[in-house]
Amino acid sequence: MLSRVARRGFTLIEVLVGITLVALLMALGVPAMRTFNQNNKIRSAAADYYSGLQTARAEAIRSNLPVEFVLTAATGAGAAPSITGRNWVVRAIPPLPAVPVLIDQKTGLDGEGGTTQAIAVNVSVAPAGFDGRITFNSFGAPTANPYSIDVTNPALGACFPGGPARCKRINVSAGGQITACDPQVALASDSRAC
């Protein structure tokens, strides 16, 4: 009697079934991964604005000078303010002659991996006449108050619960406390709530 030799390997049918399952899992995972990546851009941009505001406040206290956090479309110490600016500049305003001194700056495209403008900034609460500047005095308090900066991602769509975007808000209180929060979190006991 002849013995059969055991064959090892996969049949064409088994390979096709495996490829089909992998393709199906990829098709289901890609939209979720896109949403995850776009929400990470919102979190990263909000962290950058938060950091810039903290830098401005700390520098105002340290230097005993007025320090501005400026939303702008440009960069540099002399950048003009813009309430929808995606860039920000932190600059000290010394006594006369008041030539601003650049402390820090960040462009809105940093960390976005390209030249598209996915992240949007909207100042939702500000004193009348707000032009894009938040000035901190030597006590670390804003000279006018309060302020709320919303960071959104129009490329992803509407903010949760109407859409998949987990938008962020940065609040500056009258005393200078700067907080970052998620405006969609409803529970006051949740540390992410505004």
Ranges of beta strands (E only) in 20-172 are 67-72, 87-92, 101-106, 120-125, 133-136, 147-152, 168-172
Asked if 119 and 106 count as a contact pair (C-beta separation under 8 A), the reply is no
pLDDT in tens, 103-136: 999 887 665 555 455 677 888 888 888 888 999 9
What gap in Å lies between CA 105 and CA 92, rounded to an integer? 12
Average pLDDT over all residues of the chain: 85
What class has domain 14-181? Answer: alpha beta
Q: What's the pLDDT band for 13 if we cut at 50, 70, 90?
A: very high
113 or 57, which is more confident:
57
| Mean pLDDT score, 2-29 | 84
Domain ranges of the chain: 14-181
Q: Residue holding tokens 């600059």?
A: 91
Sign of CA dihedral 33, 34, 37, 40: negative
pLDDT in tens, 144-168: 878 998 888 887 888 888 888 888 9
In this prediction the pTM is 0.80
Q: What is the pLDDT of residue 119?
A: 76
Ranges of beta strands (E only) in 14-66 are none
pLDDT in tens, 72-83: 988 888 889 988
